[in-house]
């Protein structure tokens, strides 16, 4: 009899403990779900903020797509803003050897000097050196297509740099779309 009552007592206790445990478990699960949701919401916002910071941090001249379209020729827009490439031997600047400065067609930042221009035979304006600090290079490009070059101020795509340039100077060939450039003669 003693054992029986003790047995029921233990059963009774374990039953209530079980109910309590289930209740606690339910509360914990609720908390976990809420925490997961909060974490997801914050991490999404965090990424969005990071992306925004990245975009606004790098370039000091920024415009909307329609503003760029209004400012640039269709070809310049395609090159600078969409990373396009003009057809070889089509740019007037390919065979231009006057003294002056080549500036960004998007934001007028001086990018290349005429003294660094040479005829690479590629059909695109070619330079062995950029104006330091005004051109940025993206590291994600591969060796076959060269390393991509951008205007450091507006982020416009200019062309690519290859390591088959003049050996007697830098050994680099900055292969630049003429549509991404404007030539400012020295005496102007």
Q: How many CB atoms lie within 10 A of CB 178?
A: 25
175 catalytic? Reply is yes
Name the residue nearer to Zn ion (CB basis): 136 or 147: 136
CB of 142 to Zn ion, least distance (A): 24
User: Which distant-in-sequence residues (6+ apart) come within 8 Å of 131 by Cβ?
Assistant: 110, 111, 112, 113
Among 76, 93, 104, 158, binds Zn ion (CB under 5 A): 104
Residue 115: CB minimum distance to Zn ion, A: 21
User: Which tokens sit at 52?
Assistant: 């925004």
> How many other CB atoms are there within 10 angstroms of residue 182's CB atom?
17
Nearer to Zn ion by C-beta: 131 or 147? 131
Of 107, 151, 154, 175, which is the active-site residue? 175
Alpha-carbon distances of 23 from 17, 19, 34, 94, 97, rounded to whole Å:
10, 6, 17, 77, 83
Rule CB under 5 A: say whether 106 interacts with Zn ion.
yes
The count of residues interacting with Zn ion (CB under 5 A) is: 8
Identity of the residue, 152 or 172, whose beta carbon is nearer to Zn ion in the bound complex? 152
CB of 94 to Zn ion, least distance (A): 20
Q: Pick the piece of the chain touching Zn ion (CB under 5 A) from 2-10, 24-32, 103-111, 115-123.
A: 103-111
The binding track of 148-167 with respect to Zn ion, each residue x by CB under 5 A or -, is: ---x-xx-x-----------
| Closest CB 107 distance from Zn ion, rounded Å | 3
Residues that bind Zn ion (CB under 5 A): 104, 106-107, 109, 151, 153-154, 156
Residues forming the active site = 175
């Amino acid at each position: 009899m003693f054992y029986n009552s003790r047995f029921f007592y233990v059963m009774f206790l374990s039953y209530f403990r079980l109910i309590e445990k289930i209740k606690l478990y339910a509360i914990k699960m609720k908390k976990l779900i809420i925490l997961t949701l909060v974490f997801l919401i914050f991490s999404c916002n965090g990424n969005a903020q990071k992306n925004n910071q990245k975009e606004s941090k790098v370039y000091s001249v920024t415009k909307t797509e329609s503003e760029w379209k209004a400012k640039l020729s269709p070809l310049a827009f395609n090159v600078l803003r969409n990373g396009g490439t003009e057809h070889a031997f089509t740019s007037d600047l390919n065979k231009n050897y006057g003294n002056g400065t080549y500036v960004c067609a998007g934001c007028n930042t001086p990018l290349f000097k005429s003294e660094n221009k040479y005829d690479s035979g590629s059909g695109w304006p070619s330079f062995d050196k950029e104006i330091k600090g005004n051109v940025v290079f993206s590291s994600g490009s591969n060796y076959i297509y060269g390393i991509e070059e951008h205007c450091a101020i507006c982020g416009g795509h200019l062309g690519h740099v290859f390591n088959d340039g003049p050996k007697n100077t830098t050994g680099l060939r900055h292969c630049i779309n003429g549509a991404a450039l404007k030539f400012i003669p020295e005496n102007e």
